[in-house]
Amino acid sequence: MRRPSPVLSLLAAVLCHVLFVASSAHALSGGPVYPGSAVSTTGTYSGALIGLLQNSLGLFSLTIPRTGVGTGTAVVFKAGYFASGQITGVADPQSANLNGVLDLQYRYSLLVLNNSNGTTSTLSTTISGGGIVTASILGGGSRFGASAIRLTGTAQVAFVAPPDGSNSAVDPVLLEPITYTLIGFKQQEL
């Protein structure tokens, strides 16, 4: 009986090795597919609210915990005015969507002239504002870490005149509702 050539034996061994390695690598990426997002939604997010039609910009930072409602801070600069407050939100891991509510206040003081006697007094008041934030959480791959996860969406913000009668002195530009383009990223994974 004739022995197989060493080249043929080596070729058969290499082919078997390639076949087993390829099937093992395929098994690592296989398995059941579950519906939902491949993006972890928990963590700390930061973003900007860009008002394209008005002179306006907003900034926020929001921490989404493993359980419960996320909280953070938000500020809005609009037509030379500054409002600050809170953002509260939730992130759905199934759809990879973030939904939130803004609660903002603009505090200001007015110098009021009394025409009858020429004296002045200071009137302090607050303009309250609020809005809705909706964003998609987009994954960027685990090798880039949390900062590869991005937010894209919109926010609508509106302020209301104070009920104390001082609304005649409020700049009407401040009371106009505005739609923002939201862009952001995940700063830290929880």
| CATH code where residue 113 lies | 2.40.160
Residue 95 lies in a domain: yes
Q: Total structural domains in the chain?
A: 1
In this prediction, residue 139 carries a pLDDT of: 81
> What domain range includes position 153?
43-188
Residue 30 lies in a domain: no
Residue 169 lies in a domain: yes
- 6-23 pLDDT, tens digit per residue, is 655 555 554 555 445 445
Residue 111 lies in a domain: yes
Q: How confident is the model at residue 173 (pLDDT cuts 50, 70, 90)?
A: confident
pTM over 0.95: no
Mean pLDDT, the chain, as a whole number?
A: 80
Q: How confident is the model at residue 53 (pLDDT cuts 50, 70, 90)?
A: confident
Does 118 score more than 70 pLDDT? Answer: yes
Does 164 score more than 70 pLDDT? Answer: no
Three-class secondary structure assignment of the chain: CCCCCHHHHHHHHHHHHHHHHHHHHHHHHCCCCCCCCCCCCCEEEEEEEEECCCCEEEEEEEEECCCCCEEEEEEEEECCEEEEEEEEEEEECCCCEEEEEEEEEEEEEEEEECCCCCCEEEEEEEEEEEEEEEEEEECCCHHHCHHHCEEEEEEEEEEECCCCCHHHHCCHHHHCCEEEEEEEEEEECC
| CA gap 81, 125 in Å, rounded | 14
| CA gap 137, 92 in Å, rounded | 9
In this prediction, residue 127 carries a pLDDT of: 86
Residue 133 lies in a domain: yes
Residue 33 lies in a domain: no
| HSE, side-chain direction, 13 A CA sphere, residue 67 | 0
Residue 26 lies in a domain: no
The closest alpha carbon to 91, from 48, 138, 50, 129, belongs to 138
Residue 64 lies in a domain: yes
